Structure 1
């Protein structure tokens, strides 16, 4: 396949059409991480860095049974948390962060997950992307967490061409129609995960291909 051409930002009408199509296909998109409450969502997202959602869900099933709250997580201790999440990449550092953030939630926030970006990002293992996910999913704030999938889709399609995740995020916040903002995060991530794949995007079955600036588009595989 020939090299992809550099894309230009899409016109406003095309951006509206893309999100209208996403909404038509799946009005209420959901993330794929399992969680019980705001705390377990936060932990799951911290653990998901450089790991698959399926792999995280497998590890957190028992973890969340034993520790669905910050106090219970602290009671487990670092060693037991480490043992429970050892199937996840970078598990030792992540286990330490989960223990430490649980302790800080108890010390600073009465055991509650704060509804504030600055407070979230002050927790161990929590960066801008993790904070955006928690704010969007649990607190229903119109944030967009740019992971590798969303960064790719933003650039390929022309929705938000940018050199850094923050640049893509800021452009999306400007161009996504307000009435689609709450679910934009999930629509774009799921589209990148299952259709607009990194090595070979499945353009032949892409619901938004008529507006997408990516060229050349991957043709239908032979024999399909």
Structure 2
């Protein structure tokens, strides 16, 4: 499977997951805001590390997770704004790309028969013209313009599947590849289904080296000093 096909399939397959995630709780901020800094702060007092992490988690739960909706004060919005932004951005990009590609490769529908044709030939030609115009493989500039439909339509064009289309030019092939890669990366980042790496601003408390944090794909973040090799996480104190 080509990278473009994999990216477009990722979008189509995970769109329902994005829809489900809209109303769910949680965060996909990366690096996790405040979380790793709590772990690293606890390292300054090794005996307090686990207790500090527990206190932080308890405070977070009291402040946000256990809040009664009837209480005064800020509450979480009904929808996860980051997920909604991702869905809007990806859908707009895919439909615009499909519009562009269709304008280049989609053949115009067959016309109806001229009046002068014999009745039998005219009826057959008109039937073919109606079928050609209604061909479900055609891209429509109105109506069903969702991200999954756009992704699968672009996938069919990239793979050269048959239909009322001319061959896909190199320029449009590159356009599909670039948009698909960016859109799939946004979907994966929003759903936290891919591993990621980020540098932590705070230096290593032991050697002043740079700390690299790894996480994503549902895993708890783990920080590692790139100089001395020390590792920190919510479960591991410090490993040389």
Q: State if a TM-score over 0.5 links the two structures.
A: no
TM-score by length of 2: 0.24
The structure richer in helix per residue is: 1
TM-score, with structure 1 as normaliser: 0.25
Return the structure number with greater relative CO, CA threshold 8 A, min gap 6: 2
Q: Choose 1 or 2 for highest CA Rg.
A: 2
